[in-house]
Amino acid sequence: MRISVSLHRLALTDWPGVTAWAQEADRLGVHSLWTAEAWAHDAMTPIAYLAAKTENLKFGTGITQVGTRTPALVAMTSQCLWEMSNGRFILGLGSSGPQVIEGWHGIPFRKPLARTRELVEVCRKIFNGEVLEYDGEFHHMPLPVELGGSGEGKALKPGAPPTPDLPIYIASLGPKNLQMTGAVADGWLGGSFIPEHAALFIDNIREGAAAVGRDISHFDYAVGSSIHVTDDPERVAETMKPDMAFRLGAMGSKAHNFYNDAYRRQGFADEAMEIQRLWLSGDREAARKAVPTELVLSTNVIGDRQQVIDRLRLYKDAGVTTFRAGVPGESFGQKAENLGAIMDLMREVNAEPAKA
């Protein structure tokens, strides 16, 4: 099981710290660093900068928001980053949600699975160097006259060299989205994940692959959480409850909160619904207090050194191939200082073979 790290979804202002964080990850042998895209900075631009500052570290978008760029632009930018980084780029896609897609970008949040599938299919055509002809529900290249085109559009062959090995990952939580991930992607960006319930996610991915006859023996199951080595796990859990309440209450609407739905399927239905109700009613402090300590401890890796190692092994045995580590630290500099200890823990975990 490999380690990956990430940048947060908030504004990035400490670029020397971000650079040091990426370079330390590169030096320590971290597999990949993932950027975020919410309503602050985009996911692509930081990768162009950081790839030039590192040598072996891979970079992925976690995530590029589906529908906010044309598929051809997504493919062109991805191929550029792939070439600039000497093959160290991973395209990570996610549908986000209506609050961001409609509130920030001003475009309809409709049929996100179909949009994601079409985006992947168009990118694959371009990555493979094929002439771009596509007629989907949302995307039509060339654009026909009956859909507003002039009739002068031409099916073009990509001008960049083919990049057939450029991997595509999908962030998915719901069963149908997970099945699509298995059918079309090279990896899964998982979240809201409790390893004791891993089958709820991984079985759907495998089912989706089997339905289309895909071999996913090399598929990357990239899942993770925060890691904290401590003699007082309950105290650490308390500090993480505000973020959990935000995720369950604010990351979406009452009708569409994919994180909340995921926890409901993993045995916390009553708690997740109550936290959402309190948050949406405006009582955010009560929502934070309603977060069970058990939920935080189940979702994260918190405990003394041996407890952390045992829990990481649980992820590995569940089939996780890349652990997306939330490293403690108030700044990127502090995170860089703590990363070496996390890598030591993972080496110990990997010294023992995964259970069948």
Question: How do residues 186-218 score in pLDDT, each as one tens digit?
Answer: 999 999 999 999 999 999 999 999 999 999 999
> What is residue 352's predicted lDDT score, i.e. its pLDDT?
82
Q: Give the tens place of pLDDT for each residue, 288-342.
A: 999 999 999 999 999 999 999 999 999 999 999 999 999 999 999 999 999 999 9
Predicted confidence at residue 83, as pLDDT, reads 98
pLDDT, tens digit, 9 for 90 and up, residues 92-115: 999 999 989 999 999 999 999 999
Domain boundaries, the chain: 2-231+303-350, 232-302
Rg of the chain's alpha carbons, rounded to an integer?
A: 21
Q: Please name which of 233, 224, 239 lies closest in space to residue 303, comparing C-alpha atoms.
A: 233
2-231+303-350: CATH topology? TIM Barrel (3.20.20)
Q: Does residue 251 carry a pLDDT above 90?
A: no
Quote the pLDDT of residue 254: 82
Buried-exposed string 199-228: b where 16+ CB fall within 10 A, e elsewhere:
ebbbebbbebbeeeeeebeebbbbbbbbbb
pLDDT digits (tens, 9 = 90+) for 4-59: 999 988 889 999 999 999 999 999 999 999 999 999 999 999 999 999 999 999 99
- 255, 254, 197: which is closest to 223 by C-alpha? 197
The pLDDT of residue 174: 95
Is pLDDT at 170 greater than 80 in this prediction? yes
Distance in Å from the first CA to the final CA of the chain: 14
Other Cβ atoms within 10 Å of 335 Cβ, number: 22
Closest to 81 measured CA to CA, from 89, 91, 73: 89
265 pLDDT higher than 70: yes
Only one residue has tokens 């995307």, namely 139
- Give CA angle at 41 (38, 46), nearest 5°: 120
Provide the pLDDT for residue 8. 87
**Confidence band (pLDDT; 50, 70, 90) for 152?**
very high
The pLDDT of residue 356 is 57
Torsion angles phi and psi, residue 237, rounded to 5:
-60, -40
Read off the pLDDT of residues 114-146 as tens digits, 9 standing for 90 and up.
999 999 999 999 999 999 999 999 999 999 999
Q: What is the mean pLDDT of the chain?
A: 96
> Please, which pLDDT band fits residue 354 given cuts at 50, 70 and 90?
low
State both tokens at 228: 């904290």
The span from the CA of 84 to the CA of 89, in Å, is 9
pLDDT-above-90 percentage for the chain: 94
